[in-house]
Amino acid sequence: MGKLDGKVIIVTGAGQGTGRGMAIALAREGAKVVVADINEKTGKAVAEEIRKLGKQAIFLKCDVGVEKEVKQMVDQSAKEFGPIDVMINNAQTLFTDYDPIESFPEARWDRTYQTGIKGTWYCCKSIFPYMKDRGGKIINFGSGWGIAGSPGWSDYAGCKEAIRGFTRTAAKEWAKYNIKVNVICPGIDSPSFRNFAAKNPNMVESKAKLGDPEKDAGKAAVFLSSSESDMFTGHTFHVGIGGIQMVQYP
């Protein structure tokens, strides 16, 4: 018996990195996993990878910055697998160029917030009807760089802190429905992080100890999706960020 046998779980941004690791870990524990991603090629590959493990998974294409696509994805997930137990809002566009506040590109700012805090809001709104009468778990994603501050990434840092504030509010508003809402702040060895580190070597320690997508992020996702976390809501969990240190620009 797996910890998540029979549970239906949506993971956005599950086509690579942290999202892929969580999707596989959840499936290994018996969950029926919806791999939601904007990238059809990688998303289908992850769903197929899960099925080769003898587990259940489907891929649904979705841009979390488009509310209509989010709602369609959630409704289709319920149609395929039944009522949804857990929503993991991992997807967000990440830009890796350094841009100071005084000359920050507005288009980049808007895309970050559209896929970040607004995408999280869209996902939560869309999942609420499926959890209102039976409870559920929602896992949102913040960032240690939002907590610490991130020179050159004011859009990302601000957006991730907005998600944490939104999460605490959702946890209080939806407690009466037995919907638990928490945040993971990851420091995971993923393609997006490696791309960021390569372009910005002075922003990350060379010996940063990064977590593993499946063993670390996956383990946290399993815990927050299972009955073991029933007494937790409105909390932030830092996962796999040992040794990472932001270095300030001069």
Q: Distances from the Cα of 198 to the Cαs of 124, 159, 193, 222, 229, in angstroms?
A: 33, 23, 9, 30, 36
Number of H helices, E strands in the chain: 9, 7
Which residues are designated catalytic?
A: 156
Q: Are 204 and 243 in contact (CB under 8 A)?
A: no
Cα separation, 25 vs 132, in Å, equals 26
What single-letter DSSP state applies at residue 244?
-
* 207-to-188, 190, 204 alpha-carbon distances in Å: 14, 15, 8
